Amino acid sequence: MSASVSTRRLTWLLAGLSMIGPFCIDTIFPAFLQMGAQLDAGPLAIQQTISVYLIAYAAMSIVHGPLSDAIGRRSVIVGGMVVFTLASVGCALSKDLPTLLAFRAVQGLSAGAGQIVGRAAIRDLFHGDDAQRLMSQVSMLFGIAPAIAPIVGGWILGWGEWPVIFWFLTAFSAVLLLATWLWFPETNPPAARMPLVARSLVRDYAAIFMNPRFQRLAAAGSFNFAGMFLYIASAPVFVMQHLHLGEGDFAWLFIPTIGGMVTGSYLSGRAAGRMSGDRSTSIGFMIGGIGAVLHIAYAAFADPFTIPWAVLPLFLTGVGVALVFPILTLAILDMYPRQRGSASSLQAFTSLVVAALVSGAMSPWLSHDPLHLALGSAALTLLGWMFWRWERNVCRRLPATPSEVAVVESPNQL
């Protein structure tokens, strides 16, 4: 098998593993009303099916990476897919909300294995421009998932009740499990592995987390993504209450959002080796900022609140997020070449904690008013940009360590 075919297969497999997360969240959005009625739960209680999942995902994300540093990338992904498949069966068979929430938590504990460990695997195999290109390609394919997931969820509801969605997730994860078993290479050989010792793990995590540069880069990426995720977490209210659309119309929100992410990922891959990461990141934040301003302007002055104009700024938001993400992620991974799994885990944990707070607190608080939603999204994007500017100012003022010099001076990094 040629190298190009192997890379293509790996790209699709990693993208599929990354899709588990958005599919697990977005396919159930159209079923919220039905789930609430059948489980005797209000909208806020049903919203916790997302928050519980994200909290569990975030908690386990700090384990996936170092576990893969110790026992190998492939074993962690295979184990995660086995647990996720069984948890999806449990969700499908749940008869009350507490049981469903318990299995949603188990889904969250296992769903991140493919995405988090997959990022480290990309950096294991590829360097420089090639790493950015593959990361962008995976992001581009991954970006399709949130667009089609609610559409798939609405289509499934036309064939049955809400448990069928979880049977679909069971089948999807089983296929990925088989594909991983057959085709995923072990990218972390025994000679490169590090022992998994609790005291060392805590010490390493503390060292990474207390690194001011890691904090700035992780915060910049997390808050920038959160500006878009606020709309995703608010999708049921935004689509069905503000846009006055039905359960099968979530595509109006997700297609422009994910279309922007796919476009931004494509542009990021094309820019690798042709444009500095500094400039690409600046352009990404600028485009995201324009989208935020347009959101605020439309929400403030539009009457009535209609499609497609209400959702078109989300395209720019998605472009901005996708341009920024690969560069910040690779910069973090390059800071810790022997602990890429741990660095990827801690970055994911940071993003997921922010996403869980957005889903569990900001979305219920702001989603009742489109203007409040737009202002909240803009504030998150602005906060991400401020952390990134802080990072750039520090890099210009202070001498960097040798590893940071390599990252900063690389033509496709920060």
| Residue pLDDT, tens place only, 321-348 | 989 988 888 888 888 877 777 787 788 7
Q: Which residue has the tokens 């972390």?
A: 188
Distance CA(294)–CA(287), nearest Å, equals: 11
Q: According to the model, what pLDDT value does residue 408 have? A: 38
Helix, strand or coil, per DSSP, at residue 185: coil
If pLDDT is split at 50, 70 and 90, which confidence band does 406 have?
very low
Q: According to the model, what pLDDT value does residue 146 have? A: 66
In a domain, 396, yes or no: yes
In a domain, 33, yes or no: yes
In a domain, 190, yes or no: no
Q: According to the model, what pLDDT value does residue 378 have? A: 95
Count of Cβ atoms closer than 10 Å to residue 125 Cβ: 15
- In this prediction, residues 307-327 reach a mean pLDDT of 89
Least confident among 19-33, 53-67, 182-196, 355-369: 182-196
Cα 23 to the center of its chain, rounded Å: 11
Distance CA(347)–CA(216), nearest Å, equals: 11
Mean confidence (pLDDT) of the chain: 82
Question: Is the per-residue pLDDT at 56 higher than 90?
Answer: no
Q: Spell out the alpha helix ranges (H) of 234-312.
A: 235-237, 251-271, 277-301
Distance CA(207)–CA(209), nearest Å, equals: 6
Least confident among 110-124, 189-203, 235-249: 189-203
Count of Cβ atoms closer than 10 Å to residue 127 Cβ: 12
If pLDDT is split at 50, 70 and 90, which confidence band does 5 have?
very low
Q: According to the model, what pLDDT value does residue 193 have? A: 73
Please state the domain count of the chain: 1
- In this prediction, residues 266-275 reach a mean pLDDT of 79
In a domain, 50, yes or no: yes
Q: Which amino acid is at 222?
A: S
Residue 121 is part of a domain; what is its CATH number? Answer: 1.20.1250.20
If pLDDT is split at 50, 70 and 90, which confidence band does 396 have?
confident
In a domain, 67, yes or no: yes
In a domain, 192, yes or no: no
Cβ-count burial of 5 within 10 angstroms (0-12 exposed, 13-18 middle, 19+ buried)? exposed
In a domain, 253, yes or no: yes
pLDDT tens sequence across 225-252:
999 989 988 887 888 888 888 766 777 8
- 255-258 long-range Cβ contacts below 8 angstroms, 24+ apart: 255/147, 256/308, 256/311, 256/312, 256/314, 256/315, 256/318, 257/146, 257/147, 257/228, 257/231, 257/232, 257/311, 257/314, 257/315, 257/317, 257/318, 258/143, 258/144, 258/145, 258/146, 258/147, 258/318
Residues 6+ apart with CB under 8 A from 39: 46, 96, 97, 100
Percent with pLDDT over 70 in the chain? 90
Cβ atoms of 107 and 233 within 8 Å: the answer is no
What residue numbers bound the domain in which 233 lies? 3-183+197-409
Q: According to the model, what pLDDT value does residue 405 have? A: 39
Higher pLDDT, 40 or 220: 220
Cβ atoms of 221 and 329 within 8 Å: the answer is yes
Q: According to the model, what pLDDT value does residue 381 have? A: 95
The token pair at 19 is 């899709």
Distance CA(271)–CA(274), nearest Å, equals: 5
Question: Is the per-residue pLDDT at 414 higher than 70?
Answer: no
Question: Is the per-residue pLDDT at 3 higher than 50?
Answer: no
If pLDDT is split at 50, 70 and 90, which confidence band does 320 have?
very high
Q: How far are the Cα atoms of 140, 230, 288, 321 from residue 346, in angstroms, in the given order?
A: 23, 21, 25, 19
Distance CA(387)–CA(351), nearest Å, equals: 14
Q: According to the model, what pLDDT value does residue 143 have? A: 64
Closest by Cα among 338, 342, 352 to 62: 342
Rg (CA), the chain: 20
- In this prediction, residues 7-30 reach a mean pLDDT of 81
Question: Is the per-residue pLDDT at 103 higher than 60?
Answer: yes
Q: According to the model, what pLDDT value does residue 90 have? A: 95
b/e per residue 218-251 (b: at least 16 CB within 10 A): bbbbbbbbbbbbbbbbbbbbbbbebbebebebbb
Q: According to the model, what pLDDT value does residue 248 have? A: 65
Helices 144-157 & 163-183 angle (0-180, nearest 10):
140
Model confidence, pTM: 0.71
Higher pLDDT, 22 or 379: 379
DSSP code, position 361: I
If pLDDT is split at 50, 70 and 90, which confidence band does 36 have?
confident
